[in-house]
Structure 1
Amino acid sequence: MSKKRSNLQIAQEQAESTIKKTNDKIEELGKYTSNLYTALNDIQELFDKIRNVPSQKHLEYKKLKEVRLNWKQQVEKIESDYKNAVAKNAGKGVTGVGAGVAVAALGPTAAMGIATTFGVASTGTAISALSGAAATNAALAWLGGGALAAGGGGMAAGNAFLALAGPVGWAIAGIALLGSGLLFWKTKSDQNRLENIFTLISKRDKKSYELAIVELNERISRIKDESVKLNDAIEKIESFGVDYNQMTEAQQYELGAYVNLMSASTQLLVNPILGLQPKYNEKDFSKFISEGNGKANEVLCSSHKDLIIALSNLLYKIKLDDKDKKLLWKSFKKNKKFLSSMNISKKEFDDIILDIVCEALYFRLC
């Protein structure tokens, strides 16, 4: 007779199912962003051939070209970082990562979907709650989400925290941490408390991903529409000739409208999916330090910024009492892999850090 599943396992399975749907949708988005990118390049080539374009209009579409180039470079960086991370972990004998399946799963269109989903800043770097290898984390989380909890399919549980650093990774925390012994407890009561916390996290994230899927569908629909408009515009522009001064006033006006179309389409390419952005980011942290109670512990906060931001994302909208906080603190403190991943020693991981996290979240949500 099979063992009855716990509330955490049920919530986790539901969250994993939603993550899989989200990941599938991100890959689908990548296919459409690929088509959009091609159409934008095609129309850009036509504009580049036109002589005597007023400097203001020329400057506008030149800037758009640079934005798209940044986006494409980020796509390539995601692919490169991901493959490098896989190769590095494979060299260390990490279970699952070096199996070959992972590398094959992250193709160019998937990377495009990830680049659009998580957004590209003007510098060409991925926007993330955490500094460092944001693109790699997003890619690993995209690939390893559901498989991580199952064990061995994506990444070894002992290396969970690399994936957990990415926005899509947090929802698989429950079973990955509890099931692999990465969290510690002394009594059944403590175990129940921990399971309840991660059950709430899984339920929260399930709702978040469901909303993100709606947003992804809306983005795909808009990209489809814009792609059709761009292809129609390409046909029109080809009939205008290559000298702006020889065009009719109506054609010149239409060209201006197409620049606006290129701008709107480019935004669909580079603007992130808001529902999949970190719930707590560096701006929130900076505001907490400058305006909130973070001032009182500014040195400690600054020293462990990544840890505080990561835990703030994990515990976002999760109500904890003093016993919950103490139990979480003890569990994390005993976890060498967690401490190592967050660059903090056991001695440095003071219980005040969880208090600061709760204060930071209260300040963010009040």
Structure 2
Amino acid sequence: MAELFGIDLFNTEYKKRGVNKLKKYVSLYKHSFANLKFNLLLLNDNRDTLSNDLSNSEQIIDNIKNKPMELQTKNIRLKQESKNYRTFINEVKDKSEEAVKLTKEGTSGSAALGAAASLGGPALSALVSSLGTASTGAAISGLSGAAATNATLAWLGGGSIAAGGAGVAGGEAVLGAIPIVGWALSGVTLAATGFFVNNKNGKTAKQAYKKAEKVEAGIKSTDLLSNKENILSNETIRSSTNIEKLNDEATEFPNDFDKFTDKQIIKIGVLVNNALSAEKILQKSLKSAS
């Protein structure tokens, strides 16, 4: 008899409630994780769109003859910032794919890196770029095993300590700040296997409740991160829409600045200034999203 006078003598119900609670939160976590991944992919696409819009702005301004020095100077600055951004984002994409490949091959040796890489290359690159991680130029593709893992972690940490970055420890800290790390491993594995079957009911229940609390905290953190990514994505969309509209108007302008009307002079100035502001939006980090 499991109960006597309403008392759960062998903690059978206690265990059942604990395990069911953990399974419930694991299910909710999976939904939260999927939502985060969706928002990251959306941010990635929206940033690519804005970057292309800015390339069009540069070309439009480049094609104008007899530009005043101020307009030329601003366009040079715009092109340089665009080049820096594209260089950085391409490196992030390449190395995110390398991190994913590393974990698929089972050679990363890092549970944290493996959990982050489970997002997939495009989503991971959107996450890393929005964390504001510095570009290091470290070669990872030619490495393997622990060396490859350490190089990847150092890159996530902003480079080696010798190069002014935070090194491997910095990379682990970056991943440690990402709520996806560890939650799937600590929650799903325990709920999906027969781990609880062979343990005493009381001990099992306590472990289940403890894990459930961690997964619940992970859900809250993942939802917060997802919300911040969504804010960045929406801001990027608004900027892209604005730049695209200004580009469309500017394509109707003469290709000689000397033939511009006063209204067109103002419009081209608005375009280049807004384009410079849009570059800053492309490089915004999660810290500035609220």
TM-score with structure 2 setting the length: 0.61
Deviates more, 1:14-23 or 1:266-275: 266-275
| Aligned match of 1:106 | 121
Q: Pick from 43, 66, 80 the counterpart of residue 66 of structure 1.
A: 80
Q: Does 1:32 align with 2:51?
A: no
Cα 1:104/1:207, change in 2 over 3 Å: closer
Q: Pick from 194, 201, 205 the counterpart of residue 218 of structure 2.
A: 205
1:83-232 maps to which residues of 2 (within 5 A)?
A: 83-89=97-103, 105-107=120-122, 110=123, 113-114=126-127, 116-119=129-132, 132-134=154-156, 164-165=175-176, 167-170=178-181, 171-172=183-184, 174-175=186-187, 198-232=211-245
1:15 touches 1:205 (CA, 8 Å); kept in 2? yes
Q: CA deviation at 1:219?
A: 3.3
Q: CA deviation at 1:89?
A: 4.7
The one-letter amino acid of 1:230's match is I
1:228-243 maps to which residues of 2 (within 5 A)?
A: 228-243=241-256
Q: CA deviation at 1:49?
A: 2.0
Structure 2 unaligned spans of 5+: 1-14, 112-116, 138-151, 159-171, 194-199
Structural RMSD (CA): 4.4
In the TM superposition, what whole-angstrom CA distance separates every residue of 1:113-132 from its partner, at most 9, and x where no partner exists? 335533365x579xxxx961
The one-letter amino acid of 2:178's match is P
The one-letter amino acid of 2:51's match is Y
The one-letter amino acid of 2:32's match is T
Cα 1:168/1:40, change in 2 over 3 Å: farther
The one-letter amino acid of 2:79's match is K
Q: CA deviation at 1:45?
A: 0.9
Cα 1:267/1:172, change in 2 over 3 Å: farther
1:240 touches 1:247 (CA, 8 Å); kept in 2? yes
The one-letter amino acid of 1:78's match is V
| Aligned match of 1:22 | 36
* Secondary structure in 2 matching 1:133: helix
The one-letter amino acid of 2:127's match is I
2:63 touches 2:255 (CA, 8 Å); kept in 1? yes
In the TM superposition, what whole-angstrom CA distance separates every residue of 1:1-44 from its partner, at most 9, and x where no partner exists? xx842544433432332121111111122222222111111111
Cα 1:259/1:275, change in 2 over 3 Å: closer
Q: Does 1:44 align with 2:61?
A: no
1:208 touches 1:275 (CA, 8 Å); kept in 2? no
Structure 1 unaligned spans of 5+: 137-160, 181-186, 278-366
Cα 1:23/1:132, change in 2 over 3 Å: same
Partner Cα separation in structure 1 for residue 120 and residue 27 of structure 2: 22
> % of aligned pairs identical?
15
